[in-house]
Amino acid sequence: EAQVTQNPRYLITVTGKKLTVTCSQNMNHEYMSWYRQDPGLGLRQIYYSMNVEVTDKGDVPEGYKVSRKEKRNFPLILESPSPNQTSLYFCASSPHRDGDEKLFFGSGTQLSVL
Amino acid sequence: EDKVVQSPLSLVVHEGDTVTLNCSYEVTNFRSLLWYKQEKKAPTFLFMLTSSGIEKKSGRLSSILDKKELFSILNITATQTGDSAVYLCAVRLGNKLVFGAGTILRVKS
């Protein structure tokens, strides 16, 4: 089944403790992206990647890192999480060719930083 | 700054009503506009629009884009309780997608 898989679904952590949220897609998509969703603010893009070893900042990249060593994986790293990073996170992927830009979303990761 | 604004922020209707959701944008390098429905967690794709004036339809849902006036509408006819969700509009600019804050729709039986 074609899908984007994120793990974990729920995560509670403490300030400063490094964490990684994994994201994997099995559709051979070129484009992958991370978003955070906060009430009243909609989905805001953190980072995106057009291909292996190519990553770019979105609108809210501060406090986050990403890597794209393989086409299927795009982990999101919080080196030193802070309470303002408590949010619902989505990974998404897309073929992203002109005319084929539908984003496929993972199930989301609810992160709480205490 | 690129902006996507959705209205209304929320609305409550009764089953059978018709609703119109709005999405306006001020962006550079417009490529396409997409609508998503978000029920519990992950948004699911509804429509992608690239050309003005061409209506896309799927069952009771339809959407149209006006590139001159920089807006799109999403219509839902004969609403059902299963249409209750957050509806998200997103605009692709180059390699980025910018989302609006969403419209919360609640359909009462």
Instruction: Note the pLDDT tens digit of each residue in A92-110.
Output: 998 866 556 788 999 999 9
Q: How many Cβ atoms sit within 10 Å of the Cβ of residue A23?
A: 25
| Tens digit of pLDDT at every position of chain B (109 positions) | 889 999 999 999 999 999 999 999 998 888 889 999 999 888 999 999 988 888 899 999 999 999 888 999 999 999 999 999 999 999 988 778 899 999 999 999 9
Question: CA neighbours within 13 Å on the CB side: how many for A83?
Answer: 1
CB contact under 8 A, A99 and B43: no
Give the one of B4, B45, B98 whose C-beta lies nearest to A102's C-beta: B45
CB contact under 8 A, B101 and A42: yes
Q: Which two tokens stand for residue A87?
A: 């949010």
Query: Strand B96-99 and strand A65-66: pairing?
Result: unpaired
Give the one of A44, A101, A106 whose C-beta lies nearest to B42's C-beta: A106
Give the one of A35, A50, A88 whose C-beta lies nearest to B95's C-beta: A50
Query: Under DSSP, is residue A53 helix (H, G, I), strand (E, B) or coil?
Result: coil
Best to test chain B binding among A43, A68, A97 (most B CBs inside 10 Å): A43
Buried b (16+ CB within 10 A) or exposed e, B69-106: eebbbbebeebeeebbbbbbbbbbbebbbbbbbbbebe
Alpha helix stretches (DSSP H) within A3-64: none
